Amino acid sequence: MKAAVFVARWRPQATRVKLPEVLPSAPLSATRGVLQSKLVLVADAADAEMYFAPLAMTLSPYIDSEGIQHVRDAFIFGANAHVGQSRQSGEPYISHPVAVAEILAGLHMDEATLVAAILHDVIEDTAVVREEIVARFGEEVARLVDGVSKLTQIRFKSKAEAQAANFRKMMMAMVEDVRVILIKLADRLHNMRTLGVMRPDKRRRIARETLDIYTPIASRLGLNSLRHELEDMGFAALYPTRYRVLSESVRKARGNRKEIVAGIEERFVRRFGEEALRAQIDAREKRPYSIYRKMLQKHLSFKEVFDVFAVRIVVQNVDECYRALGIVHNLYKPLPGRFKDYIAIPKANGYQSLHTILFGPHGIPLEVQIRTNEMHQFAESGIAAHWLYKSSGDQGTVTQARAREWLRDLLEIQQKAGNPQEFLESVKVDLFPDEVYVFTPMGEIIELPRRATVVDFAYAIHTDVGNRSVACKIDRRFAPLSTPLENGQTIEIITAAGAEPNPNWLSFVVTAKARANIRNYLKNLQDTEAIKLGHRLLVKALNAENIELEAVRAERMTQLLAEYHFEGLPDLLREIGLGNRMAPLVARLLVMDNLDVTVQANGAPSVNSAQAPMIISGTEGLVVDFAKCCHPIPGDAVVGFLSTGRGIVVHRCDCSNAADAGIHPERWLAVNWSSAPMGEYQALVIVHAKNVRGGLARIAGSVAETGADIDDVRFDDRDVNLTIITITLRVADRIHLARVMRRIKQVPDVVKVIRP
């Protein structure tokens, strides 16, 4: 059985002795000559040479002697920094960064990356500081090392927050230089190879993190060989019993199928020889994790999945790819609907190949992949192939372009994310293995994750297009913005100048870019509305104290802002508008003779009940909400409650929750409707009707006649003859609701209509 080897897996033998004590690191003021003399002294140590020799052998085919010496200098520096430290396996700690560098050497990474790989833990785990790395190895290496290092100097509220912040830092460093993530992936790969010494619970935690985050990133960057190894080791660590059972089943089945696989490969080789087409043919079995995922996703048994073998065919150019496709389709019949052309339409990570499923001998399905040699190298090495082929002048491959596009999206998501955990959530959501391909009206192909909607498509075109979307056409027919997209559809977005993102979009968008942009827009919108509301509340509270906001002394305002740790008045107004600060308390503090008292965040003076009510028009947006318990509408007597983080929640005065005003009197305020309220409002009506055929349709028709909309309908069958229907309506005001209720009462078989 043929199998591709990703990189040499050198591991130092456990019998090797610890590194000898070496000279302490020189200060920053040390000259280059003094530094070199110390390096030479250590480099002559036989034990140290034992650790570096395998890496030097891997580097020698593509890096000159001067470059190898530079990497050796980094090795000696790292050995100095990590002296006395050891891994849980008992090996000297320097064995780990050297192994990481060797993995990257297998990808033919450049000299700076290899030096940074050897030094990637010195800032985090030793007394070495960034400035020392800059002085000795340059800014480029220091930037890479800093990007991989964790945020050890910052205190976080929780471990989850710390992990999210570290992840965001690493991803942002990757946006600046993708080599950061290559070092981190190699670091994770070696840690997974040596995971056996960890406690079982820690093994599972690291394995889950690897499968959830690092393998999808490796897939995004096209690092398939690295991804496959991470997946299989992560699977073995996370589900050891499942891995053992599945591996044993594969081993038993392999004995029966060795001859079949060999026969398939031989027949392909013979047919390509007859057609005089030079090709490299490799027949192989699927990997354990690949088998497990297919069993899990498609609810298949092992026998159903294992009967799929993969044949890889590598030819010279794209024309020969399609010629090879014709040969294999003549050799074995293709399975209808299972052909995919990833050469014409590459995957999100730049992967290119022809995929087809054939009916093989004895009815065994064969998955055949056909690609050129260059496509194969990029399928195995992904974005790292840029360095592998750097000497040949390769500039701007498909993989590079796709990776750069994804990194640009990451930067936009980072700018729009509210906190590290939101960023981590967005990036994890965006790491999809499956894609759907749709077209713009001009014929441009847009690639999106499976289950993406029209709104995701709009944001993929441009942020402004997404923000201003109001409708769409799918294949020239109008469709809802929430419609999931399918391959081959043509999408046309209809925009309007005054349109804004709808908060409901967050319930169905799937791409991180769309989610981050919607959240950012709504957050900015809420901030703006909160400042306006806070200004109204503060002015109203100051009026009750017989003073205008403009008349407040500047030094008093400055002192209060300093006490609250706010940078300016807008921050104070925003907190008031969101309900985090009480306007009456702030007003009282502003009019006091002095501010020699400590401001209490949750304290509040008594509210002056004589002050005029605040007027609401229904257009305040996100900072004024209407309670779901009583559904107030214009015309109802209402009262407002300042809810922390939400702004004002409006209740009907007869609401049971409003009866609790005595519990937090400082948070309740008088509100009233404007003379001309805008918009539509939800209202509940309960209809008692006889249980007859077509009754609901007649009720719905009567509602439509009054110009109202139905948002929701719920049934409660009391008995065979009577049905209680709870209808959520959208009306303009109390008069409109009364007209709707009168019309419903006129429907035959309706017994009564009430508003709860």
Tens digits of per-residue pLDDT, 561-620?
A: 887 778 888 888 878 877 777 777 788 778 765 443 333 333 333 333 445 666 776 666
Residue 70 contacts residue 141 (beta carbons within 8 Å): no
Provide the pLDDT for residue 736: 92
pLDDT at 653 exceeding the cut of 90: no
pLDDT at 536 exceeding the cut of 70: yes
Domain spanning 241-388: CATH superfamily: Beta Polymerase, domain 2 (3.30.460.10)
- Long-range CB pairs of 37-46 (<8 Å, 24+ gap) are 38/76, 39/72, 39/73, 39/76, 39/77, 42/76, 42/79, 42/80, 43/72, 43/76, 45/19, 45/20
CATH fold for domain 681-754: Alpha-Beta Plaits (3.30.70)
Provide the pLDDT for residue 602: 37
Domain at 400-517: CATH architecture: Roll (3.10)
The tokens describing 240, both together, are 């050891």
Provide the pLDDT for residue 743: 92
- Check residues 203 and 173 and name the one with the higher pLDDT: 203
pLDDT at 212 exceeding the cut of 90: no
Residue 105 contacts residue 55 (beta carbons within 8 Å): yes
Section 464-483 average pLDDT: 90
| Catalytic residue positions, numbered | 124-125
Pick from 185, 230, 194, 145: nearest CA to 10: 194
Provide the pLDDT for residue 695: 84
- Check residues 46 and 549 and name the one with the higher pLDDT: 549
pLDDT at 64 exceeding the cut of 70: yes
Stretch among 9-18, 219-228, 558-567 having the lowest mean pLDDT: 9-18
Provide the pLDDT for residue 371: 92
Instruction: Provide the residue ranges of all domains of the chain, joining segments of one domain with +.
Output: 32-235, 241-388, 400-517, 520-673, 681-754
Tell me how far apart the terminal alpha carbons of the chain are, to the nearest angstrom: 74
Query: Which parts of 462-582 fold into alpha helices (H)?
Result: 463-467, 512-544, 554-564, 569-577
Give per-residue pLDDT as tens, 382-440.
Answer: 665 545 444 344 434 555 565 556 666 665 665 565 555 555 555 555 554 466 778 88
Give per-residue pLDDT as tens, 284-334.
Answer: 777 788 888 878 877 777 776 655 678 889 999 999 999 999 999 988 888
pLDDT band of 4, cuts 50, 70, 90: very low
pLDDT at 753 exceeding the cut of 90: yes
Give per-residue pLDDT as tens, 225-254.
Answer: 888 889 989 999 999 998 888 888 877 766
CATH fold for domain 32-235: Hypothetical protein af1432 (1.10.3210)
Query: Which parts of 545-630 fold into alpha helices (H)?
Result: 554-564, 569-577, 583-591
Provide the pLDDT for residue 399: 53
pLDDT at 154 exceeding the cut of 80: no
Percent of the chain scoring above 70 in pLDDT: 74
Pick from 232, 177, 225: nearest CA to 210: 232
Residue 12: Cβ within 10 Å count: 17
